[in-house]
Every structure is written in structure tokens, then in C-alpha cells.
Amino acid sequence: MNDYPLRRLGQTGPEVFPLALGCMGMSGMYGPASESESIATIHEAQERGVTLFDTGDFYGMGHNELLLGRALQGRRDKALLSVKFGALRGPDGAWLGYDTRPMAVKSALAYTLQRLGVDHIDVYRPARLDPAVPIEDTIGAIADLVKAGYVRAIGLSEVGEDTLRRAHAVHPIVDVQLEYSLVSRGIEEKLLPTTRALGIGVTAYGVLSRGLLSGSKPQGAQDFRSHLPRFTGENGEKNQRLVEGLNTLARAKGVSATQLAVAWVLAKGKDLVPVIGARTRAQFAESLGALDVTLSAEELQALERTVPASAVAGTRYAAPQMHHLDSER
């Protein structure tokens, strides 16, 4: 195993391996997944040095936490757990909204600890801003859990600059999860300067734009990407041309498009930790190869010219989900 320099989550968070493993796809979001392969992937990630594992209590309505808990039995001491909460699901899998009231925060954590089989969570964060609850109330409730020893650090996800500042004033925020990739660069204008001014890290998800940049296609109706604007109709056809440009640059450098896209995010700042959503050991191994890819300033510029974010067709989520993103306001 190569020794890669660790990256710290903000100024007050833990040091972590430069890539995190996102476990969402192991619980049906991209269609059926193999439980044995999912667990093998988690184990492989640990063996290769990964320390940060990201989940949400609403991924598979608790399935993902149960899976991760089983995978980490006897291995918890080498894992840092990042958990999102607050999204409400129906028995049919429907998305019903958000609840981050203080009593809901504490109840959600109680169930999360039980499902994961652990006594504390390393980074706990609301999945989205709840418009009905002041962020100060939500963070205050998590701060109570920090004092009680159930949570080590507080994070956020998809919030804007104002919310981030208000939250950070209540309790130090170690990192915020934001979508960031060659084709999703909206955070560069205001959000990234704000996180850096406040000393808050960024765990970057969607670094492959949900497989768009790696050439992955939706696998049937159960795959939530079949409802995303970037993958469907004319948008999908237009975006395929961007992917072809990325593939050309990758071949010229002797790496895969996946590795080039992940390496681009890694090169954009040591305060960024890409969250890799691998469901198999092969997918994980390919992404891990990005750590051995060095990009010069000229190569970064060439990438950004070839795959300009302004050219991508379609929003990163469908309109109803975009409406819930405080980071887009």
C-alpha cells in the first residue's frame, strides 16, 4: 500500500485518507447491488487505507447502515463514520421531505447507533436544510450530542454560504458535502471561497457526475439516474460528446476517464476529499488509481477547456430536488 498524504476535514476535524468511500449505491439507488460484493468492497477499501465511510440513515430506509455495520464488525477502530440524516421516506421509497427538529435529530441518531452497532458517529450531518427549522436549532441539538459523547464532529450537506456561516457560529463545522466535478462547478464562485475563509473542509461527492464522466448508463427504472436530466433524451446525447473529449485526454495520458476526473478534483485543493461511490472492488480500485495521477497546471486547463461545465446539458437533479438545495440559492 502506498503512503498517501492524509487530508484534514477543516481545521478541527479528523485526518482522513484522501479518498472516502460513499456507500449509497450499495443499497439500491443505482439498481440491485450484491451484498457480498458490497461488504468485500468496504473491506478492500479499509485494506487499501480508506478511513472515511459515508452513509445516510435514509439510504435503503436503513439498509445501508445495517450493511455498513455488518461490514465493520471487528473493524470499527479503523473506520470514521460520516452519517447524513433528516430525509423522510415512505414505505414505497418515496421522498417525503425533511425533518431536522432537535427532537428528531436525537431520535434519528439513536436509531443510527443501533443499526450501525456503534456507540458514536464521527461526523453527523443533516442531509439538506429543513426550511421549517432554523439551522441554529439543528446544530444546537447535534452540539448537545457532541457534549454527550454520541457524536465527535458536525458536518453539513448542500447548504449555502449564509447557512454555513450561521451554523459555524453555533458550533465548529468540520466539513460540508457538496457536489463537485468537472461538470458541476457551481461551488467555485461563492461556496468554496466561504468554506476556505471559515476553515471548513469539503467532502466532494458526485465527482463522476453519478457515472456520467465514466460512461456509466442508467440500469433500468430502479436506477434513480433514469430520472436525472443529464442522462435522458437530448441532454444525454449532448453530454456524451463531453465524455468523449474526456476519454481522448485520458487515453493520451495513459489513464482512465474515471481516474482523470477524480484526479482533477484532488488537484483542486488539499481541503477537498472526494467521496467515491464504488459498489464493487473493481470500481474502487480504478478510482484509487487517481491518487497516482499528477496533473500539471497546463493539463488542468486543458481538461477544463475540453469538458467545460458551461457545456453540460441539464441540471444535476430533477427540478423538485433542485428546489431543496440551499447551496443553489
Q: pLDDT for 106-124, tens place per residue?
A: 999 999 999 999 999 999 9
Nearest alpha carbon to residue 29 among 284, 225, 276: 225
Q: How many domains does the chain have?
A: 1
Q: pLDDT for 210-223, tens place per residue?
A: 768 876 666 666 66
Q: pLDDT for 240-253, tens place per residue?
A: 888 888 899 999 99
Kindly state whether residue 298 falls inside one of the protein's structural domains: yes
Contact 126, 57 (CB under 8 A): no
Question: Letter for the amino acid at 116?
Answer: L
Q: pLDDT for 263-298, tens place per residue?
A: 999 999 999 999 999 999 999 999 999 999 999 999
Kindly state whether residue 7 falls inside one of the protein's structural domains: no
Alpha helices, H only, the chain: 35-47, 63-71, 102-116, 135-147, 161-170, 191-198, 233-253, 257-267, 281-288, 297-306, 319-323
Kindly state whether residue 307 falls inside one of the protein's structural domains: yes
Q: According to the model, what pLDDT value does residue 219 have?
A: 65
Say which of 30, 59, 150, 180 is annotated catalytic: 59
Residue 61 falls in which region: left (phi positive, over 0), alpha (psi -120 to 50) or beta: left
Kindly state whether residue 84 falls inside one of the protein's structural domains: yes
Show the cell assigned to 41: 468492497
Find the length of the chain. 329
Contact 50, 19 (CB under 8 A): yes
* Residues forming beta bridges with residue 53, ordered by sequence position: 21, 81
Kindly state whether residue 222 falls inside one of the protein's structural domains: yes
* Residue 117, domain extent: 15-328
Does 165 or 209 have the greater pLDDT score? 165
Kindly state whether residue 1 falls inside one of the protein's structural domains: no
Kindly state whether residue 10 falls inside one of the protein's structural domains: no
Contacts of 192 (CB under 8 A, 6+ apart): 202, 269
Contacts of 37 (CB under 8 A, 6+ apart): 279, 280, 281
C-alpha–C-alpha distance, residues 155 and 38, integer Å: 25
CATH number where 272 lies: 3.20.20.100
Contact 268, 201 (CB under 8 A): no
Kindly state whether residue 6 falls inside one of the protein's structural domains: no
Q: Can you spell out the DSSP letters for 39-91?
A: HHHHHHHHHTT--EEEEETTTTTTHHHHHHHHHTTTTGGG-EEEEEE-EEE-T
Main-chain phi, psi angles of 57, to 5 degrees: -70, -15
The answer on pLDDT for 328 being more than 60 is yes
The verdict on whether 59 is a catalytic residue reads yes
Q: Is the pTM of this model over 0.75?
A: yes
